[in-house]
Amino acid sequence: MKVESRNILINALSAQDGGGVTYVRNLLEFISRNNRQERYYVIVDKSNKLKFDTFNQDNITLVEAHYSNNFLARYLWELIHIKSLIKTNRITHYYCPGGIISPFKISDVVNITAFRNMMPFYQLGFEKYTLMERFRLKLLQKLFIISFKSADKLVFISNYAQNIIRDYIPDINNKSVVIPHGVNEIFRLPTKEASFVDYNLPDNYVLYVSTVTVYKHQAELIEAIYLKKSNGESFNPVVLVGSIGSQFGKNVLKKIATYGLEKDVIYLGKVAYNDLPNLYRNARSVIFASSCENCPNILLESMSMRKLIFCSKFMPMPEFGKQSVIYFNPTIVDEFVRILTLEYDFNSFEKIEFENMAYEQSLQYQFTTSLKDTLAFILE
């Protein structure tokens, strides 16, 4: 009996940095490793093509989109070319992991999207964004809801996210599934594939990996460190890793210099993904202070690296960390003061106990299981 061939078009144009790129790379890596029978076409552009070039082989074909680097030009390119790509390559499934089925729902194929960006539904601290940023987020929220309503299938990466969208689309469960991200294998000890770069960091540092922006609350962390230093209180140095997300992020870094905290807060900037495991391994503990997440990859990676973690209390962090991490409110400076004091005074026995609990909890989030389940849902 002849099995009908399945050709999948993945729109990766929204995967320009951070978690978006990691998600698509992990998906393509899984496909290439597992000798999938389907044929995959991945739409990229000049700004992200190099991030996926290594997968342009066997049953994966990269299709480069040519347009000037702005949203309108990208939309026009999609409007003109997506349908012809689908027809020419006999596409059966169209997957838009960025959350928006672009340029619109395509007939005669299965349209799938994923909800990965919680920012358009984020209310806490919304007033700290510029008028243009607020307009953009509200527009994205409306586009997401339109896309989710029109999709044939929708992938959620946390129960929390599904609950958020259910307020807008009550019957969303009928065509959706919750598949959390899995932890990449390089964050499973021992990490043979991880690279090693000597950043000449101080002993007993506390690591915080995240884009420097409003909802990651590095500003409150800096204020807390300044307070502790001004009061002559002891604390371990903090290492910040991550790109600058906005002018707000630049102002946070300026504050480090203004307060004279260069030796107390070390900013490494953005580092290579494969360098992260060794930064985690050598850290005494980890802070994860985000108040807006969908599925917190960095939290899962920290847990997998068997670390003592001081974590934001906001959902969905408790959905993933359970009782294996120490929660606090990152919107309050005094809460950062409290956890910095607690971190410095933590005794070895309790520290090991939390580290082991975190690692055991992380085992629920397997890289291969997550990707296998995602592809199975897309193709079923």
Domain annotation for the chain: domains and CATH numbers: 7-182+366-379 (3.40.50.2000), 187-362 (3.40.50.2000)
Residues whose CB falls within 8 Å of the CB of residue 215, separated by 6 or more in sequence, listed in order: 119, 122, 124, 125, 290, 291, 292
pLDDT of residue 190: 60
pLDDT of residue 189: 61
The mean pLDDT value for 187-216 works out to 82
pLDDT of residue 3: 47
Instruction: Grade residue 128 by pLDDT with cuts at 50, 70 and 90.
Output: confident
Per-residue pLDDT of 236-286, as tens digits, reads 999 999 999 778 889 999 999 999 999 999 999 999 888 999 999 999 999
Q: Which is nearest to 276 in space by CA: 304, 296, 253, 295?
A: 304
Distance of CA 295 to the CA centre of its chain: 7
Q: Which is nearest to 30 in space by CA: 372, 353, 273?
A: 372
C-alpha 113/C-alpha 155 separation (Å) is: 6
- What is the overall mean pLDDT for the chain? 92
Per-residue pLDDT of 152-171, as tens digits, reads 999 999 999 999 999 999 99
Instruction: Grade residue 374 by pLDDT with cuts at 50, 70 and 90.
Output: very high
Q: What are phi and psi of 89, to 5 degrees?
A: -100, 10
Distance of CA 219 to the CA centre of its chain: 20
Residue 75 has pLDDT above 50, yes or no: yes
Instruction: Grade residue 223 by pLDDT with cuts at 50, 70 and 90.
Output: very high
pLDDT of residue 129: 78
The mean pLDDT value for 312-332 works out to 98
Could you give the angle at the alpha carbon of 247 between the alpha carbons of 241 and 249, nearest 5°? 25
